[in-house]
Structure 1
Amino acid sequence: MKQHDHKDHNHNPDHDHDHGGIFGKNTELYFAIISGVFFFMGLITETFMGAAVWVSLGCYLAAYFFGGYFTLIEALEKIGKREFEIDFLMLVAAIGAAYIDRWGEGALLLFLFSLGHSLEHYAMNKATKSIKALGELSPKTALLKKGGDIKEIPVGELKVNDIIVVKPNTKISADGVIVKGGSSIDQSPITGESIPVDKTAIKIIGDLPEFNKIDRSHVVFNGTINGDSVLEVQVLKLHADATISRLVKMVSEVETKKSPTQLTTKKFEKWFVPVVVVSVFSLCFLFLVVDETVQESLYRAISVLVASSPCALAISTPSAVLSAIARAAKKGVLIKGGRALEDLGSLTTIAFDKTGTLTEGKPRLVNAFSLNGFDKKEFLNLVLDVESLSNHLLAKAIVNDLQAEYNLESKDRSSNVMSIQGKGVKAQYNGGHIYIGNVQLMEEEGIQISSEALDYLGKLQKEGQTVMLVGYKETAIGLISVMDVPRKNSAITIQRLKDIGIKEIIMLTGDHQNVGDAIAKQIGLNRAKGNLLPEDKLKVIGEYIKKGIKIAMVGDGVNDAPAMASSTVGIAMGAAGSDVALETADVALMSDKIESLPFVIGLSRKSKSIIKQNLWISMGIVALLIPATLFGYANIGVAVAIHEGSTLLVVINALRLLRYNLD
């Protein structure tokens, strides 16, 4: 079972160069430019103007100060944590160059290193900006309605159950439920949906249900954008608990959850740097065994020190991970860190929950037809009249679909509807009785069921449908059937997953096996397992994990939480507004759209490919530069220029992920 890392929630310090100063957030870049100006001034005065030595030395010292300022700060922070990394190596090299009176080359080293660092920081900001932008989505104030008064207040002062007014074409200030009005809401900031979603006011009877259990057609989220109508929204979550706030917090944490590749790179750096330091120290004494001066040995050692700097290696994986996570967030998918990102690309099997994941999560009328020559229109009106008097979930679904599909209106010819537990309903209709229910109810009431009706009944039940016979005047006059039908895009998504190499796609459901088999057949799953409790789903996932199979569990994050937690990757559907889903899942699809799955798996694979490219680039540069400097083919300036170039190259390569789209 995988362990969910909740310990280190601070931003990854390894490459956080957002230094403030006299020039604001760009101080590091300006310092690097000033360092370069002083370096070139020193070079010109020394080489072309024949000025006094102290003039060029003064310029080089100024270049040392501006180029080494932030490098020294970072090196001291790392040394305080007993970490000896790139900044430390660069400082030692610059001090060594000064010691052997190569002030110009030391100044060039610090100038190029600080410029490379600041440009790397600038490039990395392109990835972090799309994450930080999430925090700007939330409006700062809300219009609070109390009695007849409307007052503008900071969103932090809103309380649960407050009523806020949302004007047309403005951002919504809180997670809540519409209590007055209706509008088309742009939810793309939270869910990544490109098309606005129609929302209506909830009809409150008694107490409101829990936020997670309210129909999504009535729920609005902080940071989403209202359409052309005025809304009144009852606040159901405080600002700190709102979906957007939790999303920003979680996205800012993801970089701390390192992938196996990142951890391996870190381990490599930990032994690589000490080995370099020992080797360079040994090279300082090469003059004892080779015919060269002390100064030549020191210069060679410093050059090798610069060549050994793993700048590009250190940034190659984090830059790709951050870019991929930022790209996913823009599409309404939260990936919790490098491990989840890497695991996504290794999946060979995906297990889906059924209800609300592969299916719409609510019953729909599938069949309604008359038998024994009974008029179909009369039959449909009769069913509508009876079911419209019932509060049962299935009855409501039947009424809604009859009205929508056949454009019918109840004529109120039924009365005295009585529910018969586990069997159906009985009502008075046109002076007689009508029964809607199962075979047992019909038999008990003396209703004749034709062989034709029984044949239809058996066939539809095998397809996983819930079938009800309609009895009137002692004869079964027709039947209706309902079913939780597949989502429109389920079959397409399953096919796309197969196309990108997912070998086995299964369904784990608590419904009857017949229902699972019917849905599986319709949308192209490999197989379905029915009649499962949450612990049974956990057991199935465990069996795959024991065999070493990389499996994802896709569910709603509540009854599927144990299975999601034990899978290689837990993926939560429709996580917007769901605390359990956001906490449990490694990957959260903020909308209810499973068509995002092939995209994130493709994104993971692309990021792994780019990480490999970056590692080859960074390691290749080090492998070439060390012998080149060791044998005198490259000096300090060349080594630094190539290093900083390779660092920018891997960052720019990683930033390609920000534009990724599944072909």
Structure 2
Amino acid sequence: MKHTKSEPHDHNQILGKKTELYFAIFCGVFLLAGFLIEKLTDYNQWFALSSYITAYFFGGYFISIEAYKKIKKGGFDIDFLMIAAAVGAAYIGSWAEGALLLFLFSLGHALEHYAMNKAKKSIEALNSLSPKIAIVKRHGRLEEISIDDLKINDIIVVKPHTKIAADGIIISGSSSVNQAPITGESMPVDKTFIETTDNLPAFDSLDKKHVVFTGTINGDHVLEVLVLKLSKDSTVSRLIKMVKDVETQKSPTQRLTKKFEKWYVPIVILVVFLLCFAYLIVDENFDTSLYRAITVLVAASPCALAISTPSAVLSGIARAAQKGVLIKGGKALEDLGGISTIAFDKTGTLTEGKPKLTHVIPLHDLSEIALSQLVLDVESLSNHPLAKAISTDIKIQYNLEVQNKASNVNAIQGKGISAIYSGNEVFIGNLKLMEDSGIKTDREVKSSIVNLSENGHTVMIVAYQNVIVGLIGVMDIPRKTAAATLIKLKQIGIKHMIMLTGDHQNVGNAIARQIGLTDARGDLLPEDKVSAVRELIERDKKIAMVGDGVNDAPAMALSTVSIAMGAAGSDVALETADVALMSDKIENLPFVIGLSRESKRIIKQNIMISLGVVFLLVPVTILGLTNIGLAVAFHEGSTIVVVLNALRLLRYKMD
């Protein structure tokens, strides 16, 4: 079946954006009214006929527009055939069947067009990432300008907790930057200024600790950034271009339908036209030939075929919605069933998406509670997101409160923090901080750090009175349901499950081991994820991509079926996605794949039933071996069978 994919009917939005859907519903209402009047009352037949004519208007309005546009370009498609069949049915007095034909077809038509603005919305959502105004430093003064007016080598000033307006390199200041909108990293990244800007290498070769991207969010400190890319060349602009490129690609289903149309519709029109003049060859009058031609037109109009796919799709989508899964159209529903490879983003998809305290390891005769209290008092005075996460978790896990024994907290960019605790100096941070502070780390401590790091933990050393007294481990932990979900996916035949993440490879490997992934690829920027998806498609033909962040949008759009984690998902991921797990439950993924497979099976059955009726009925009517009543009965019968078969999906349950 073909739903003509065209521009939305802006000039016909009488009732808003859902006008076409409302018209289809009105068609159904007047069809039902006409049928009830005809069968259950003694009213004059004109009452029923008026209701059917109104149903014809609402059901045929948009289909007629589509058919007219196609005819103007010299083509005929199933839209035209549907209109012709409905008119033919009316001519021979079968108004109810004609109205039913238009109702079912127009409903599928409306739902198809309802999803047509997906690409446009995804572009708009991406555009909203980038701030519109930049504060630029010129001639010693600060002025606000549009980002479109920025020039290469301009210096922009980025205030705390604001979006960065351009891709560039930090020349003054240090801060933690939330890069999740672009890279998907679960934790803010410490950034610091570069010593000199003389003889800078290519942008992609710069040390990432000095580089910032458009749309990322600055932390607590003011930064000055040297602009190295114009707005049109920024990372966000590249994401927009990627989404545009893949959104415009036609699906194989569309191409196949087009081929079918090219021969089926013209042949039916030609046969019906020739049958009108059968009386010139056969011994019969013109009325008999015309009656046969209209009967053939009704028989050949693929009524059951036209609803075989949308009825199954609608049932499948409705069943998915009951489980908190939004599926955007029939292509996604059908394609998902043929998937054997799934690529997952990590942060917020397979993991909780926020750092959690995983280890408190006391050393040097300090108790776990004492170490936790020390860390809580110091970290509670810091605004760093990691410090806030540690403080919150210590309070919950150890039932402790801040005792206000810490003071003089000082953030040491890229290393950690120092403070005074109970009158003595304390350091919490990495090995570099310990080395710079003259604190010795023995082999046992270094071994513990390596072991935790290799298992995906971010490790901080705690030193008090110039002695290392403990280690703190933090990690973005897997979702509780992730491992069980992957086991279920394997059971239903998903062969390859790959993680694509912007986090470090060690983190990816650790999560993969914990939850049972077949592969993990770390340190990936958005364009790297797109390349990885492209490689997987070349190898496995069809893949699904599951993600929740803006950085996943291009890779998701390129994949055969894109799946967004709903509650945690960004606007662009949701707009780009074909499937959204609205309740943010990854455990619904096996169910929706199973539902897709069942939907595909039912669609195939429906197509066989509907084509079987057409291929049986057309020769019989051409030979004049049946009348219009029998043709209508067969049509209604096949339609009912197809619809009932599709409705079985509403009761689908995972085995």
Decide which of 495, 498, 519 is 1:503's aligned counterpart.
495
SS of residue matched to 1:389: coil
| Matches for 1:640-659 after TM superposition, within 5 Å | 640-659=632-651
CA distance, structure 1, for counterparts of residue 404 and residue 627 of structure 2: 94
CA distance, structure 1, for counterparts of residue 329 and residue 307 of structure 2: 16
CA distance, structure 2, for counterparts of residue 466 and residue 13 of structure 1: 54
Q: Which runs of 5+ in 2 are unaligned?
A: 10-16, 116-159, 165-177, 181-248
**Aligned residue identity for 2:649:** L
- Mark the CA change 1:483 to 1:66 in structure 2 (over 3 Å): closer, same or farther: closer
Whether the 8 Å CA contact 1:116–1:647 is kept in 2: the answer is no
SS of residue matched to 2:589: helix
| Matches for 1:340-379 after TM superposition, within 5 Å | 340-379=332-371
Give yes or no for the alignment of 1:413 onto 2:367.
Answer: no
Structure 2 residue aligned with 1:582 = 574
Give yes or no for the alignment of 1:91 onto 2:87.
Answer: yes
SS of residue matched to 2:348: helix
- Mark the CA change 1:585 to 1:89 in structure 2 (over 3 Å): closer, same or farther: closer
SS of residue matched to 1:507: strand
**Aligned residue identity for 1:588:** A
Structure 2 residue aligned with 1:8 = 8
1:620 Cα deviation (Å)? Answer: 0.9
Structure 2 residue aligned with 1:515 = 507
Structure 2 residue aligned with 1:52 = none
Whether the 8 Å CA contact 2:34–2:47 is kept in 1: the answer is no
- Mark the CA change 1:285 to 1:326 in structure 2 (over 3 Å): closer, same or farther: same
Whether the 8 Å CA contact 1:93–1:306 is kept in 2: the answer is yes
1:358 Cα deviation (Å)? Answer: 1.5
CA distance, structure 2, for counterparts of residue 334 and residue 528 of structure 1: 27
Whether the 8 Å CA contact 1:63–1:111 is kept in 2: the answer is no
**Aligned residue identity for 1:31:** G
CA distance, structure 2, for counterparts of residue 6 and residue 276 of structure 1: 24
CA distance, structure 1, for counterparts of residue 58 and residue 445 of structure 2: 83
SS of residue matched to 1:18: helix
Comparing 10-19 and 276-285, the one that deviates more:
10-19
1:641 Cα deviation (Å)? Answer: 0.9
Cα deviation 1:179-221 (Å, max 9, x = unaligned): xxxxxxxxxxxxxxxxxxxxxxxxxxx98999xx9x9xxxxxx
- Mark the CA change 1:643 to 1:431 in structure 2 (over 3 Å): closer, same or farther: same
**Aligned residue identity for 1:583:** E
Structure 1 residue aligned with 2:232 = none
**Aligned residue identity for 1:28:** L
Comparing 647-656 and 619-628, the one that deviates more:
647-656
- Mark the CA change 1:344 to 1:320 in structure 2 (over 3 Å): closer, same or farther: same
Query: What is the CA RMSD across the aligned residues, in angstroms?
Result: 4.1
Cα deviation 1:607-657 (Å, max 9, x = unaligned): 222211111111011122223334454322111111012113222322333
CA distance, structure 1, for counterparts of residue 432 and residue 440 of structure 2: 12
Identical counterparts, % of pairs: 55
Decide which of 373, 385, 391 is 1:393's aligned counterpart.
385
Decide which of 24, 31, 34 is 1:31's aligned counterpart.
34
**Aligned residue identity for 1:527:** D
Give yes or no for the alignment of 1:383 onto 2:379.
Answer: no
SS of residue matched to 2:544: strand
SS of residue matched to 2:629: helix
Structure 2 residue aligned with 1:538 = 530
- Mark the CA change 1:489 to 1:88 in structure 2 (over 3 Å): closer, same or farther: same
Whether the 8 Å CA contact 1:113–1:640 is kept in 2: the answer is no
CA distance, structure 2, for counterparts of residue 403 and residue 612 of structure 1: 57
Comparing 312-321 and 446-455, the one that deviates more:
446-455
Q: How many residues align?
A: 507
Whether the 8 Å CA contact 1:534–1:559 is kept in 2: the answer is yes
1:471 Cα deviation (Å)? Answer: 2.0
Give yes or no for the alignment of 1:487 onto 2:479.
Answer: yes
Comparing 406-415 and 587-596, the one that deviates more:
587-596
1:311 Cα deviation (Å)? Answer: 0.8
Decide which of 561, 581, 596 is 1:604's aligned counterpart.
596
Structure 2 residue aligned with 1:471 = 463
Structure 1 residue aligned with 2:186 = none
Whether the 8 Å CA contact 1:261–1:317 is kept in 2: the answer is no
1:11 Cα deviation (Å)? Answer: 6.2
Structure 1 residue aligned with 2:431 = 439
Whether the 8 Å CA contact 1:35–1:65 is kept in 2: the answer is no
Comparing 483-492 and 452-461, the one that deviates more:
452-461
Whether the 8 Å CA contact 1:553–1:563 is kept in 2: the answer is yes
Structure 1 residue aligned with 2:609 = 617
Structure 2 residue aligned with 1:172 = none
CA distance, structure 1, for counterparts of residue 566 and residue 294 of structure 2: 56
Decide which of 396, 421, 426 is 1:404's aligned counterpart.
396
Whether the 8 Å CA contact 1:571–1:585 is kept in 2: the answer is yes
**Aligned residue identity for 2:566:** G
Structure 2 residue aligned with 1:339 = 331
Whether the 8 Å CA contact 2:34–2:48 is kept in 1: the answer is no
1:534 Cα deviation (Å)? Answer: 1.7
SS of residue matched to 2:551: coil
- Mark the CA change 1:6 to 1:325 in structure 2 (over 3 Å): closer, same or farther: farther
SS of residue matched to 1:662: coil
SS of residue matched to 1:550: coil
- Mark the CA change 1:635 to 1:412 in structure 2 (over 3 Å): closer, same or farther: same
Whether the 8 Å CA contact 2:334–2:600 is kept in 1: the answer is yes
SS of residue matched to 2:503: coil
SS of residue matched to 2:598: helix
Structure 1 residue aligned with 2:25 = 18
Structure 2 residue aligned with 1:151 = none
- Mark the CA change 1:658 to 1:303 in structure 2 (over 3 Å): closer, same or farther: same
CA distance, structure 1, for counterparts of residue 49 and residue 438 of structure 2: 101
- Mark the CA change 1:88 to 1:12 in structure 2 (over 3 Å): closer, same or farther: farther
Structure 1 residue aligned with 2:627 = 635
CA distance, structure 1, for counterparts of residue 391 and residue 429 of structure 2: 15
CA distance, structure 1, for counterparts of residue 58 and residue 462 of structure 2: 81
- Mark the CA change 1:263 to 1:651 in structure 2 (over 3 Å): closer, same or farther: farther
CA distance, structure 2, for counterparts of residue 662 and residue 357 of structure 1: 22
Instruction: Report the TM-score when normalising by structure 2.
Output: 0.67
Cα deviation 1:419-446 (Å, max 9, x = unaligned): 2332222222333222222233333434
CA distance, structure 2, for counterparts of residue 325 and residue 547 of structure 1: 29
1:548 Cα deviation (Å)? Answer: 5.7
1:291 Cα deviation (Å)? Answer: 6.3
- Mark the CA change 1:117 to 1:532 in structure 2 (over 3 Å): closer, same or farther: closer
- Mark the CA change 1:87 to 1:424 in structure 2 (over 3 Å): closer, same or farther: closer
Comparing 295-304 and 626-635, the one that deviates more:
295-304
CA distance, structure 1, for counterparts of residue 52 and residue 376 of structure 2: 80
Structure 1 residue aligned with 2:300 = 308
1:554 Cα deviation (Å)? Answer: 2.2
Q: Which runs of 5+ in 1 are unaligned?
A: 42-58, 96-105, 133-205, 216-256
CA distance, structure 1, for counterparts of residue 600 and residue 319 of structure 2: 14
**Aligned residue identity for 1:323:** S
SS of residue matched to 1:85: helix
**Aligned residue identity for 1:567:** S
Cα deviation 1:323-350 (Å, max 9, x = unaligned): 3334434444333323333332232222
SS of residue matched to 2:546: strand
1:271 Cα deviation (Å)? Answer: 3.9
1:507 Cα deviation (Å)? Answer: 1.2
1:301 Cα deviation (Å)? Answer: 4.1
Whether the 8 Å CA contact 2:33–2:48 is kept in 1: the answer is no
**Aligned residue identity for 2:32:** L
**Aligned residue identity for 1:534:** P
